[in-house]
């Protein structure tokens, strides 16, 4: 399964629409995961013309995205035996013993294979404590500058994972 990863679009503040370059990169994906700070449902609607969309509620997503069925605080998916969490803010680091510190919190019990997050506007792919952390950056506001930025592509095939950041041009 090919999954397009995007975050921090800030539509219409950073750009009026999802950049055409994003649509080119995401052509043929099976699913799109948006890691929050969407601002308007219209951004999700644009992406949904390409593939089904799930989105994490960002810390700046207020009235413009409320009551959208695609939006949750946290999505938990299993794709070909791989567990994926979609959340806006990375609120823990898998190499720290949070499960021992917060035993009553279900977010710290079973850690995912992949955690897709946003918030920083900085694209990263790194493995921490056995969890692959992916931040696709921002296609419209990387490093909080109005310019073309990044998205990411995730491929899960029979339990094998490949993730890469794509710089938009």
Residue pLDDT, tens place only, 50-63: 999 999 998 888 76
Are the C-beta atoms of 26 and 43 separated by less than 8 Å?
no
The lowest-confidence range among 24-33, 38-47, 108-117, 155-164 is 108-117
The pLDDT score that the predictor gives to residue 16 is 95
When pLDDT is averaged across residues 19-27 and rounded to a whole number, the result is 97
pTM of the model: 0.90
Neighbours of 156 (CB within 10 A): 22
For residue range 87-130, what is the model confidence (pLDDT) as tens digits? 998 866 555 544 444 444 555 557 889 999 999 999 999 998 78
Q: What pLDDT is attached to residue 59?
A: 85
Around 85, how many Cα atoms within 13 Å sit in the side-chain half-sphere? 22
- Position 64 pLDDT exceeds 70: no
Per-residue pLDDT at 65 exceeds 90: no
Give the chain's domains with CATH numbers.
2-167 (3.60.21.10)
Average pLDDT over residues 138-143: 96
> Pairing relation of β-strands 2-6 and 150-157?
antiparallel
Q: What is the pLDDT of residue 101?
A: 42
The partner residues of 115 in beta bridges, in order of sequence, read 85, 133
Query: Average pLDDT, whole number, for the chain?
Result: 88
């Amino acid at each position: 399964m090919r999954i397009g990863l995007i975050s921090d679009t800030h539509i219409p503040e950073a750009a009026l629409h999802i950049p055409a370059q994003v649509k080119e990169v995401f052509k043929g994906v099976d699913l799109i995961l948006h890691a929050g700070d969407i601002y308007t449902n219209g951004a999700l609607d644009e992406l949904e013309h390409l593939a089904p969309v799930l989105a994490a509620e960002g810390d700046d997503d207020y009235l413009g995205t409320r009551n959208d069925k695609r939006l949750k605080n946290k999505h938990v998916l299993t794709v070909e035996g791989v567990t994926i969490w979609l959340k806006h803010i990375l609120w823990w680091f898998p190499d720290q013993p949070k499960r021992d510190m917060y035993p009553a919190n279900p977010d710290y019990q079973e850690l995912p294979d992949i955690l897709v997050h946003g918030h920083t506007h900085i694209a990263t792919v790194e493995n921490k404590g056995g969890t692959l952390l992916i931040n696709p950056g921002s296609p419209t506001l990387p490093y909080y500058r109005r310019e073309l930025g990044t998205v990411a592509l995730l491929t899960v095939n029979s339990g094998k994972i490949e993730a890469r950041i794509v710089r938009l041009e």
